[in-house]
Chain A
Amino acid sequence: MPTLVNPMNERAPQAAPAAPRLATLQGKTIALLDISKPGGSIFLDRLERLLKDRHQVAQVLRAMKPTFAKPAPADVIDKIRAADAVIEALAD
Chain B
Amino acid sequence: MPALRLLAILQTDCPTCRLITPYLNKLASNRTTVSAVSQDAEDATNEFVRQMEVRFPVRRDPGFELSKRFEVVTVPTLYVLDENDRIVRQEPGFDKTALNEIAALLGHPPVATPYDGAPASKPGCTSRHLETLTEDAPAAALDLHSPRGAQASLIELAGSDDLHEYCFRAFGDALPVVPPTKERVERMLHTAAHDPEEVIARIPPCYGEATLEKIAANAVMAGCRPEMMRVLIPLARAVADERFNAHGVQATTHFAAPLIIVNGPVRGELGFHSRQNVFSNVARANSTLGRALQLILLNLGGARPDGIDMSALGNPGKFSYCIAENEEESPWEPLHAEQGLARAQSAVTLFAAEAPHGVSEHNARSARGVLKAVSYALASVWSYRACLAYEAVVVLGPEHVKTIHHDGFSKQDVRDFLFENTGVPLRCYSDGEPGEGVAQRGMYKEISIDGEPCYQKFRSPEAIKIVVAGGTAGKFSAVLGSWAAGPRGSQMVTYPI
Contacts and interface: CB of A to CB of B under 8 A. Distances in A.
Nearest to A77: B125
B181 A69 contact: no
B18 to A, nearest CB: 13
B475 to A, nearest CB: 37
A4 B155 contact: yes
A22 interface: no
Contact of A4 (B123, B157, B158): B157
Contact of A81 (B134, B156, B181, B489): B134
B439 interface: yes
Contact of B180 (A4, A19, A69, A70): A4
A4 B181 contact: yes
A14 B489 contact: no
Contact of A78 (B126, B170, B218, B488): B126
Contacts, number: 109
Interface string A21-39: 0000000000000000010
Contacts of B181: 2-5
Nearest to B295: A7
Give the interface size class of chain B: 35 or more
A69 B153 contact: no
A19 B299 CA distance: 30
B208 interface: yes
A1 B159 contact: yes
Given A8-B299, A66-B488, A78 B439 contact: no
Given A1-B156, A6-B153, A8-B171, 11 more contacts: A1-B158, A2-B181, A4-B156, A5-B180, A5-B181, A5-B216, A9-B203, A9-B214, A69-B488, A70-B245, A75-B123
Interface of B: 14-15, 123, 125-126, 131-132, 134, 136, 139-140, 150, 152-159, 161, 163, 167, 170-171, 179-183, 185, 203, 206, 208-209, 213-214, 216-218, 220-221, 245, 247-248, 252, 295, 299-302, 439, 483-484, 488-490
Interface of A: 1-11, 13-14, 16, 19, 38, 66-67, 69-71, 73-75, 78, 81-82
